[in-house]
Chains A and B, each alone.
Chain A
Amino acid sequence: MECVVQGIIETPYVEALEILLQGLCGVHKQSLRVHEICLKSGPNLGFVASEVRLLCDLEQSEPTWTVKHVGGAMRGAGAEQISVLVRSMVESKASKNVLRLFYALGYKLDHELLRVGFTFHFQRGAQITVTVSSVNKMLKLHATDGDGPVPVTPGIQLVEVTAPATSENYNEVVAAVSSFCEYLAPLLHLSKPGVSTGVVPTAAAAAASLMSDGGGTTS
């Protein structure tokens, strides 16, 4: 399972966010360019419809593939009270013919995206990953190169904070993610996926401040 929160930021403030993250995490960013293919089971397959994502990491010299299944969110009064979504998530690396396999099994292409941006991976009470990316759609099937992809939300980038968790330790992971998110609060607000909170009004001032002092925590 994983803990996850999401938010959005206007593109002009992404550089400031990067400086802030660099300062907070003490690690360098990694470039992100992922082709995400969402497949759904054909109409007759499975007693309930199912969905699986195939992620192709285009940053590698030889693209690598990952199969990702995101399951239902944890429910109940306890889950509602926390500000982080805890959900089942399973990933598996796979060889490059994985799309062919799923087509042969009766899965159909639902949609595809190209995520372009950067990530930070670091340990801070949990193994946290921050992903800042623009989400693009392809005008032609699988055309991830050149002028093909166009932003789905021009001028806005998606920020996602995730951390792997287990049924034993998710409380600590939730706490670690929540406390990390507070550091980003002046630039963006992070919430459970699907609970949109928009951009924050303090972003411009916070970004200007970060850009002027080069990312050190303000005194």
Chain B
Amino acid sequence: MPLKWVFNWQPNAGSTVNSQILNEVSQCVESMNGVKEGRWKATLTFYKPMLRDQALAAEFPREFIGISLPEQPNKYYFILRVNKIVLEADSSIQLIMEKLQSYKSRVALNFEGFQYQLGDFQLRVGKVVPTHSENLRGIVMEVEYLPISSLEKSKLIMDEFVDIWQDAVSKRSLPGHFMHIEPNFSDYGLADHYTSQHTAVQYAHVMGQLIATVQAVQAGRN
């Protein structure tokens, strides 16, 4: 499948994310002749262990994430970042987890927005909001390069595209920038040929950055 990079919006120190930034970013894509194609949505769920003795919580994974991706509607992904595990399963694995009653959903977030086509690139810009709420928690962007599946071979063209994109965004003087940190996929046993498991890992890492940003803001306030 075509490879993609997932970005998250990193607000400047002292500023927070807001829907005006999301509007500006969307306008930016359209000003580059991006053709709006429709909506997309991914859902990320944090699971927590159901423990008989909370004192033993340290023995269990602190961050256990499940993700459903629009590119694979019949699949579900589990990620344990600490253990460097990404699992691909059928969607029915969620029902199995429910029946096991050993982990339960603690919080779920939707990544949702619009998809745009720009030549050989597909862009998805979306907001990060908790399910059942409209509280904006972040902004994400996927840049997908349709002709190539190799991470290595596409690096140059992706870098070039991202340069042009960052340039366009920077002209709007927004209080922040898009950040892409590529996880070390080989730690997860993933190869150079891109798969949806790579996407799942990227979302888990983006989530880690979002949490770190929120924590930094809160620490700044305190």
Contacts and interface: CB of A to CB of B under 8 A. Distances in A.
Contact of A52 (B51, B61, B83, B100): B100
A98 B88 CA distance: 9
Contacts of B64: 105
A91 B103 CA distance: 18
Contacts of B171: none
Contacts of A197: none
A92 B85 contact: no
B173 to A, nearest CB: 44
Contact of A90 (B53, B95, B189): B95
B85 A97 contact: yes
B102 A50 contact: yes
Contacts of A92: 89-93, 95-96
Given A44-B56, A45-B50, A104-B61, A90 B87 contact: no
B170 to A, nearest CB: 40
B85 A101 contact: yes
Given A45-B49, A101-B80, A105-B61, A90 B92 contact: yes
A199 B62 CA distance: 51
Contacts of A105: 49, 60-61, 64, 80, 102-103
A45 B96 contact: no
Contacts of A100: 83, 85
A69 interface: yes
Interface of A: 41-42, 44-48, 50, 52, 67, 69, 71, 88, 90-95, 97-98, 100-101, 104-107
Nearest 5 A-B pairs (CB), nearest first?
A46-B102, A92-B93, A92-B90, A94-B89, A50-B100
